[in-house]
Chains A and B, each alone.
Chain A
Amino acid sequence: MRPLKDAFGVALEGGPQGAFSKERASATPVRRAAFAGSPARRSKGERAVPSLAPSLRALQEWFAAAVTHPRGVTESIEERGKIGEEPLYADELERIVIPTAALSSKERIDIYRDGYRARLVECLVDDYPAVAYALGEDRFETLCHGYMAAHPSQSPNLNAFGRHMAEWSQGFADPMAPFVSDLARLEWAMVTVLHAAPAQNLSLAELSRIPPAAFSTATFTKSDTALALEFAFPVNAFFQAFRMDRQPSVPARAWSATAVFRDGATLWRMDLSPPMHALLARLFGGSTLGQALDELAASGLLTEAHGPDVMRWFRDWVGHGFFGGIQVAA
């Protein structure tokens, strides 16, 4: 992590081994305080009831439902009441899963249920470390468990699993929900930029070849590795304090805007003032430079005095690869 200041004195921060970089692995996570004091179970190989022989699909559908059910294995089995076409209830699990001396059939299935939940929560902690910190372990797990039930993974890959979290957390029954949703949007922006394809960036040299008179007609191609976001809370300041281990408290509502971008392997965040955000958002949205400046002047966000600032912002945005190209009217 290399905190530094940019030309405007705005805090930037990034690094090749920061958050959002933990790999998924084939290992099995261990649930907290798992399996202590399980009562002794049936001896190995000793079966009280004849086993069932469901088809592969029936068995997998039944097992997956038990493992992913939000309330538990027993609840899933009782709700289904059958495996394939065969009736099956929770007190008959030995017909499907062999118990051991140490673990009942249900406890053995629970190992997979706990692993499923722990693995996906781990993934969401990786994507949303500051949200996890803000909510604390128990409330974050509650948020995640609801999320997993509402948005089960349908992808072979977990890279995009957390993409609905900002929207999901808006409905979270918690007074912090509006802040958490904003913070999740910032953190997901970082994940998005991390996975975005690197673009051929517009260079300052290319920019210098544009005749000054043509600038008002110029439109800019937004780079996929840059995003500009507007928030109702100062979430970037919170995130920065979290990353610096300053144990921040949830801040009061206050407007903020942040650009998130990547340069090579390094993720960066740049605070944006209201005129900076308004200008950048319009350029990212396809406005010509002239239109954007006129609108900002009309709204009072920009005055003549901002002239040198605008040049500086613009040079810096280009330098950080915010734009992939420029088009000017013929």
Chain B
Amino acid sequence: MEKRFDFPNLGIGLGLRTVHYGHLLEHWPEVGWFEILSENYMQTAGRPLYFLDQIAERYPVVMHGVSMSIGGADPLDRDYLTELKALKQRTHARWVSDHLCWTGVAGKNTHDLLPMPYTDEALRHTAARVREVQDFLESALLLENPSSYLEFANSSMKEWEFLAALAEEADCGLLLDVNNIFVSAHNHGFSVADYLAALPFHRVVQMHVAGHTDVGTHFVDTHIGPVIEPVWRLARDAYERAGGASLMLEWDAEIPSFDEVHTEAKKAETFMADGARCAL
């Protein structure tokens, strides 16, 4: 196990959410790190940055994006990347991540993480763009496996094969979302074990855990908590395979108190202590 791009293992982190700003600024609780949604602090000069600056002064921050559209057919948005890089510098973010997806085409943005066709063309196209982004940011990019609700008939490889090949080809890091694996495995009927077996775990820098919703015909990645036990087991398995990684909880629907979210995230301590020893 090598290749972590010199990124530190930050331990257990949380997503920075506006409903918790008041609590954070009043209590400054002990938290390993915060993940911010990059776009929430872009194209603004006002209140979001007022809070973020104070948080970033006191906690390690990492940036997680939803609009890079790394698999999109349109050219990369240079203005977006410039602002992203400026935000990274402003917050001293440890790393930047986004999703293996596309978000729009022909200049329009759906603001959704749209599914990729897993084809050779898409692989070459996306790998070239990841390299371009990394050159621009002067840092390794982490790509997250998305939740998806359909598969394209022209895919010539499985998602995990695509992700592994992409990571090698582009020499990028991975943000492994175990809830997304769980959701997509249910929706597409693949084996979680097959997925994990194929991943280059030496590239896994960060992990996500989250809740999801069973709507009967499929699972939806709603980020509603708490995290169910099978997803925690998957997290433990992935964490051990990775030999340690920074792990955070995403909770975006019906968000409870900060303490409740933090308590849920700290369930990872049961396996992270061992994993951290193994990694370090």
Contacts and interface: CB of A to CB of B under 8 A. Distances in A.
Most A C-beta atoms less than 10 A away, residue of B39, B107, B121: B39
B41 to A, nearest CB: 9
Given A23-B37, A157-B42, A262-B46, A98 B151 contact: yes
Given A30-B220, A35-B217, A156 B154 contact: no
A59 B71 CA distance: 12
Contacts of A119: 111-112
Nearest to B147: A28
Contact of A27 (B43, B64, B252): B252
B114 interface: yes
Given A100-B189, A157-B67, A265-B50, A24 B111 contact: yes
A120 interface: yes
Given A30-B222, A56-B121, A155-B43, A112 B216 contact: no
A212 to B, nearest CB: 35
A11 interface: no
Contact of B216 (A35, A61, A111): A35
A324 interface: no
A120 B38 CA distance: 18
Interface residues of A, number: 71
B22 interface: yes
Interface string B41-52: 011111110110
Interface string A108-129: 1101100110011001000000
A310 to B, nearest CB: 30
Interface in B21-73: 21-22, 37, 39-40, 42-48, 50-51, 64, 66-69, 71-73
B109 interface: yes
A59 B152 contact: yes
Interface string A12-41: 000011000111111111100011101000
A47 B152 CA distance: 12
Given A119-B111, A159-B44, A265-B50, A27 B102 contact: no
A27 to B, nearest CB: 4
Given A16-B22, A153-B111, A264-B50, A28 B154 contact: no
A22 B66 CA distance: 16
Contacts of A17: 18-19, 21-22
A64 B189 contact: no
B269 to A, nearest CB: 24
Nearest to A29: B222
A54 interface: yes
A275 B46 CA distance: 30
B215 A60 contact: no
Interface string B92-107: 0000000100111111
Nearest to B221: A28
Interface of A is mostly: loop
B104 A64 contact: yes
Contacts of A267: 47
A30 B104 contact: no
A97 B68 CA distance: 24
B112 A156 contact: no
Given A30-B215, A109-B150, A25 B112 contact: no
Most A C-beta atoms less than 10 A away, residue of B40, B102, B149, B216: B149
Contacts of B19: 17
Nearest to A96: B153
Contact of B37 (A25, A61, A115): A25
Contacts of B39: 24, 156-158
Contacts of A193: 46
A67 interface: yes
B270 interface: no
A324 to B, nearest CB: 14
Given A98-B150, A265-B50, A116 B218 contact: no
A25 B252 contact: yes
A152 B153 contact: no
Contacts of A159: 42-44
A-B complex: 6 closest residue pairs judged by Cβ atoms: A51-B153, A197-B45, A156-B67, A27-B223, A108-B150, A57-B73
Interface of B: 15, 17-19, 21-22, 37, 39-40, 42-48, 50-51, 64, 66-69, 71-73, 77, 80, 99, 102-115, 117, 119, 121-122, 125, 147, 149-154, 187-189, 210, 213, 215-218, 220-223, 250, 252-253
Given A116-B110, A153-B110, 4 more contacts: A25-B223, A68-B110, A100-B218, A194-B47
Interface of A: 16-17, 21-30, 34-36, 38, 44, 47, 51-57, 59-61, 63-64, 67-68, 94-98, 100, 102-103, 105, 107-109, 111-112, 115-116, 119-120, 123, 152-160, 193-198, 225, 262, 264-265, 267
26 contacts: A17-B21, A21-B47, A25-B250, A26-B221, A27-B252, A28-B149, A30-B220, A38-B216, A52-B154, A57-B73, A59-B154, A61-B106, A68-B110, A94-B153, A112-B110, A115-B112, A119-B111, A153-B108, A153-B109, A154-B109, A156-B39, A156-B103, A193-B46, A195-B43, A195-B45, A197-B46
